[in-house]
Copies of this chain bind each other. A is one copy, B any other.
Amino acid sequence: MSQYHPVRFVDVRLEGSFWKERLDTVLATTILSQHRRLDESGALEQLKLPKPVPPLRHPRGANGVTVHVFWDSDVGKWIEAASYALSHRRDAVIEARIEAIIDDFERAQEPDGYLNSFYTEREPENRWTNLRDNHELYNAGHMLEGAIAYYETTGRRRWLDIMERFIALIAKTFGTGPGQKRGYCGHPEIELALVKLYHLTGEKKHLELASYFVDEHGRQDPHYYDVELEERRRRGIDNQLYAHGDYKYNQAHMPLRDQTKVVGHAVRAMYMYAAMADLAVENGDAALKAACETLWDDVMITKMYVTGGLGPSAHNEGFTYDYDLPNQTAYAETCASVALILWAQRMLHLDLDGKYADVLETALYNGALSGLSRDGEHYFYANPLESNGSAKRWEWHPCPCCTMNVSRLVASVGGYFLSTAPDGLAIHLYGGISASREIAGTTVAIREQSNYPWSGDIRISLDPEAPTAFDLKLRIPGWAKSFSLSVNGVPVTAQPVNGYVTVHRTWNKGDSIALDLPMPAERVYANPGVIMDIGRVALQRGPLVYCLEEADNAGGAVQRLKLPRDAELEAVRRADLFDGIVTLTAPARAIEPQDFTALYRTAPPRERPSSLTALPYYLWANRGQGSMVVWIPEA
């Protein structure tokens, strides 16, 4: 099979659709709001070096504002998000702000290329002494991704040049050669950023550096984190708490190729696996591919929330044990779902298999998107699947990683719709987009039109400059129980293979494809290993997972609504809600609290016939606080 490659975000236009609305909100509100919050938090001020008054050396936890070691990454990620948004509509105000930050980066960069505002200001002699905890390479990775995105959108390479100098220093510092440190970052990110730089520049050295980091990660005898710990102790500078003994937290408990179980911090895991998949593609590394596949199955069979959320535990911001998927206390960090999308996209380009796109789509429409409020300036860090009413979106967070992760996702979502091969076009996601790609030597204008995810009625037009033969691969989502397909009104009867139907033909200007994906509301049940969900059912329609929210269901806690197994689910278009959505309604049984005055009694609570209304999960907590459940008790 031909190798498919993703189409860059800059090459896909979002048009009148679900995602266009989200993008417009990000452009109109989120980007400038995030800049303001970064400014208020001190993260932008932190970049301005040198400071007139020297700071305390170890300011963490003291004197009010805490300067975080990872702030540079947040700024980098903000520029990345802004750049994706700018690719849709340039904006002089935003660009001026980015340029001002690049001025600061330029001044903060040390003569040898080192760039880290925390260390340069506070502990210049301690750089690269705690890769496990202190995010230097992670920061570099996010700054590099930001620089690449900004360059791709604007063509301006000042920041990219800065980062290439920094990367050159990193390449000189780390490696297996004499005098080099055999280190790697405790929070993966630099690896996939380096692959992006390789894609941009074609320079193999960046791929090699990424490969080096992946190969070293978790190497034993000696373990690099032990080595650097010993060195810190020798120098009396070990002031970090590390509560995760065996380095599983960092996925560094054994070499990556030997790992078969997903462990530790969820975001770190996903970034790592995304980089592994990148390198498996680029290096044709079968062992790395096999490791990715094993880890993928482990997540999918035992560790993913139905929303595409990952990581049940706040303790390690990550994974625990198989089937541990508590709902109210779910951590399911927004970043983890965003990073799952990154990984899934890379797996999809290892094998064009719809199972990867299915997960990408689930995380995109549910666990990741729930992290951003309707108004574009409130956030969830954790995305629980149940609330007693206490959960509330926040305006900002001391660790604002999720805020820019969700804005960069929305602003770059176009980049997940299509892939091309020398002789083919694959369409993974449906909505409203247009793009122009060269396929089989001909420029082909591609346009998707649909009201997805509210409807599965999809129109695609292909306009090659000249008649051209190539494969059109259309994803048939895992949730679709049936589909119908026609080209220029003529039914096509092809069956999907690995989640894609392939139409091979000579395409002509004005060819029109109609794909209809019926979208009945469906019940979803969890594996009985997930003891929290026993006796409960979730609702899904198309790619959207639904929830019950108190705002739509009178009578207090939605946990008191039960859905009979035979109750008919109805999809209802609601023009009055959130500019038009589809809710699900069903007859229900409501448990009545009124007559139950004691805390316990021997008579069961009374129930009465009622109904329930379910809302797409990503929209929850946009109308004040109230109870919410995804997993509804069955009557």
A562 to B596, CA, bound (A): 23
Q: Do residues B601 and A524 form an inter-chain contact, with CB atoms below 8 A? A: yes
A533-547 interface bits toward B, Cβ cutoff 8 Å, 1 = contact, 0 = none: 011011000000000
The answer, yes or no, to whether A63 is at the interface (CB within 8 Å) is: no
The answer, yes or no, to whether A495 is at the interface (CB within 8 Å) is: no
The answer, yes or no, to whether A435 is at the interface (CB within 8 Å) is: no
Within 8 A of B (CB), among A283-328: 300-304, 306, 324, 326, 328
Contacts of A531 on B, CB cut-off 8 Å?
388, 557, 559-560, 627
- Please give the distance in Å from A549's CB to the nearest CB on chain B: 14
A560 to B531, CA, bound (A): 7
Contacts of A303 on B, CB cut-off 8 Å?
599
Q: Do residues B599 and A304 form an inter-chain contact, with CB atoms below 8 A? A: yes
**In this complex, what residue of B is CB-closest to A591?**
B528
- Please give the distance in Å from A264's CB to the nearest CB on chain B: 18
The answer, yes or no, to whether A523 is at the interface (CB within 8 Å) is: yes
Across the interface, A602 reaches (CB within 8 A) one of B522, B529, B633, namely B522
Q: Do residues A602 and B534 form an inter-chain contact, with CB atoms below 8 A? A: no
The answer, yes or no, to whether A93 is at the interface (CB within 8 Å) is: no
SS class of chain A's interface: helix, strand, loop or mixed?
loop
The answer, yes or no, to whether A603 is at the interface (CB within 8 Å) is: yes
A535 to B562, CA, bound (A): 9
Contacts of A596 on B, CB cut-off 8 Å?
527-529
Contacts of A578 on B, CB cut-off 8 Å?
none
Within 8 A of B (CB), among A583-619: 591-593, 596-605
Number of copies: 2
The answer, yes or no, to whether A156 is at the interface (CB within 8 Å) is: no
Contacts of A603 on B, CB cut-off 8 Å?
525
**In this complex, what residue of B is CB-closest to A322?**
B599
- Please give the distance in Å from A371's CB to the nearest CB on chain B: 21
Given known contacts A300-B599, A302-B599, A598-B301, A605 and B525 CB-to-CB distance under 8 angstroms? yes
The answer, yes or no, to whether A329 is at the interface (CB within 8 Å) is: yes
Which of A302, A599, A601 has the largest count of B CB atoms less than 10 A from its CB?
A: A599
- Please give the distance in Å from A276's CB to the nearest CB on chain B: 22
Q: Do residues A528 and B560 form an inter-chain contact, with CB atoms below 8 A? A: yes
Given known contacts A534-B560, A633-B535, A526 and B600 CB-to-CB distance under 8 angstroms? yes
Contacts of A300 on B, CB cut-off 8 Å?
599
Contacts of A597 on B, CB cut-off 8 Å?
301, 527
Contacts of A301 on B, CB cut-off 8 Å?
597-599
A556-572 interface bits toward B, Cβ cutoff 8 Å, 1 = contact, 0 = none: 01011010010000000
Contacts of A559 on B, CB cut-off 8 Å?
531, 534
Q: Do residues B602 and A388 form an inter-chain contact, with CB atoms below 8 A? A: no
Which of A528, A537, A559, A593 has the largest count of B CB atoms less than 10 A from its CB?
A: A528
Q: Do residues B329 and A525 form an inter-chain contact, with CB atoms below 8 A? A: no
A534 to B589, CA, bound (A): 12
- Please give the distance in Å from A494's CB to the nearest CB on chain B: 24
Given known contacts A535-B535, A560-B534, A525 and B601 CB-to-CB distance under 8 angstroms? yes
A321-346 interface bits toward B, Cβ cutoff 8 Å, 1 = contact, 0 = none: 00010101100000000000000000
A388 to B599, CA, bound (A): 25
Beyond A306-B600, A527-B596: 8 further Cβ-contacts under 8 Å? Answer: A304-B599, A523-B602, A523-B604, A525-B605, A529-B596, A534-B560, A535-B633, A565-B604
Please name 18 pairs of A and B residues whose Cβ atoms are closer than 8 Å in the assembled complex, sorted by A. A302-B599, A324-B388, A388-B531, A523-B602, A526-B600, A527-B593, A527-B597, A527-B599, A528-B557, A528-B560, A528-B591, A528-B592, A528-B605, A529-B596, A530-B599, A531-B557, A534-B562, A538-B600
